[in-house]
Amino acid sequence: MTRRLLWQRFVAHLDPVLLAALGLLLLVSLVVLYSASGGNWSRVLAQMTNILVACAALWVVANMPLHYLMRAAVPVYLLGMVLLIAVAFFGEIAHGARRWLNIGVTTIQPSELMRIAVPLMMAWYFEKHEAMLTLKNYFVATLLLLLPVALIARQPDLGTAILIASSGFYVLFLAGISWRVMLISLVILMASMPLAWSTLHDYQRHRIMMLLDPAQDALGSGYHTIQAIIAVGSGGMFGKGYLNGTQTHLDFLPERTTDFIFAVYSEEFGLLGNIVLLTLYSFVIARGFVITANASTYFTRLMAGSITLTFFTYAFVNMGMVSGILPVVGVPLPLVSYGGTSMVILLLGFGMLMSIHTHKKLVQT
């Protein structure tokens, strides 16, 4: 077998258009991370390792026939639920939250797995009942969503719970849930806000209040928001220049390699740099919608649409949080913030998109 034929087989299920856009975002991650970490090469090399592992996961899933994805839906969901229950009883406590589970060789955060498992399970369920969807089916699918969301919110991990809830909602929306049902649900949700407020932890209520006026606790809960807004605004039109961000390099900006890396980027590259970054994100999202529109089955349309819209939600929530228009909920900037688990889960999702794009026929199981 020739090298050319081997290479063709290797890239056969990779979408070059989507892969190029993702590659540029990953390059931005490495460039900004070097500045945000103060020139810490070990941090950059660790991120490169994360990227290599995540890209390997993308390639494996992209080459996986779609009926394997369907078969994996129930086992992966059940595994995730078992792990979440185990976290509730045996999880390790860090920073006031019980989110991690020690499995001997390493410590894992099972809630990350549910970012893929929940929409996968819901898409599988709707595929099985596509011929005659009733209100009962939507109710069951909602339960499949609410169970893990409730367990994750209880840890507490409000940011991840919101992201998983949004991914499940997108599946419900794309499955054709009635506008009347959504409107009634919205009214019920709004009416339950006082009750929901009383169930929030003190620090969660404080974060929401800081959104309205971060200056009331400028050296405490409002510090992150104030420093991020200063960094974003001080970048101006063209930015202060690479490695020249004062908020970053004078240590005013907290969590600058993870949740607030967008503030680092904005300060150094300015509004024009932000336009370039938003263009890259928009291109990835647009490509995801193209794949969704051309998906050949109900299952693949639901899954592709949910992955694409969830990626949009990641970016929107992080940028809104850094810009001061949303409360701080601990959501990283997708494919740019430092982190391994989030990177792997995101590229797993894009591997599914590529599999949906290149495997046109779904083998019924």
H or E element at residue 345: helix 341-358
Phi-psi region of 95 (alpha: psi -120 to 50; beta: other; left: phi over 0): left
User: Looking at this protein, which amino acid is placed at residue 109?
Assistant: Q
Closest C-alpha to 142, from 104, 171, 111? 171
Mean pLDDT, residues 261-275: 96
Q: What is the tens place of the pLDDT at every residue in 76-101?
A: 999 999 999 999 888 787 766 788 88
Whether residue 304 contacts residue 312, with contact meaning beta carbons closer than 8 Å, is answered with: no
Q: Is residue 322 part of a domain?
A: yes
pLDDT the model gives residue 365: 42
pLDDT the model gives residue 213: 67
pLDDT at 11 exceeding the cut of 80: no
Higher pLDDT, 309 or 224: 309
Pairing of strands 92-94, 107-108: unpaired
Cα–Cα distance measured from residue 94 to residue 9, given in angstroms and rounded to the nearest whole number: 45
Q: What is the tens place of the pLDDT at every residue in 164-216?
A: 999 999 999 999 888 887 788 778 877 877 776 676 667 667 666 766 667 67
pLDDT the model gives residue 201: 67
pLDDT at 138 exceeding the cut of 80: yes
Mean pLDDT, residues 104-131: 88
Burial class (CB in 10 A: 0-12, 13-18, 19+), 137: middle
H or E element at residue 356: helix 341-358
pLDDT the model gives residue 363: 44
Q: Is residue 261 part of a domain?
A: yes
| Two tokens, residue 162 | 């919101």
Cα–Cα distance measured from residue 341 to residue 343, given in angstroms and rounded to the nearest whole number: 5
Cα–Cα distance measured from residue 242 to residue 31, given in angstroms and rounded to the nearest whole number: 9
Percent of the chain with pLDDT over 70: 90
pLDDT the model gives residue 203: 65
pLDDT the model gives residue 215: 67
Task: State the pTM of this model.
Answer: 0.90
pLDDT the model gives residue 281: 97
Whether residue 234 contacts residue 247, with contact meaning beta carbons closer than 8 Å, is answered with: yes
Mean pLDDT, residues 251-259: 89
Contact partners, residue 24, CB within 8 Å, separation at least 6: 280
Q: Is residue 177 part of a domain?
A: yes
Confidence of residue 159 (pLDDT cuts 50, 70, 90): confident
Contact partners, residue 106, CB within 8 Å, separation at least 6: none
Q: What is the tens place of the pLDDT at every residue in 290-316?
A: 999 999 889 999 999 999 999 999 999
Per the DSSP assignment, residues forming a β-bridge with 101 are 108
Mean pLDDT, residues 133-141: 90
Mean pLDDT, residues 257-269: 95
| Two tokens, residue 215 | 């200056």
Mean pLDDT, residues 105-119: 86
Contact partners, residue 57, CB within 8 Å, separation at least 6: 344, 347, 348, 351
| Two tokens, residue 142 | 């909602």
Number of domains in the chain: 1
The domain containing residue 61 runs over which residues? 17-358
Helix (H/G/I), strand (E/B), else coil: 258: coil
Q: Is residue 3 part of a domain?
A: no
Q: Is residue 364 part of a domain?
A: no
Long-range Cβ pairs for the range 52-58 (8 Å, 24+): 53/340, 53/343, 53/344, 54/340, 54/343, 54/344, 54/346, 54/347, 54/348, 55/347, 57/344, 57/347, 57/348, 57/351, 58/347, 58/348, 58/350, 58/351, 58/354
| Two tokens, residue 292 | 């969704």
Whether residue 298 contacts residue 130, with contact meaning beta carbons closer than 8 Å, is answered with: yes
Contact partners, residue 102, CB within 8 Å, separation at least 6: 92
Q: Is residue 7 part of a domain?
A: no
pLDDT the model gives residue 329: 81
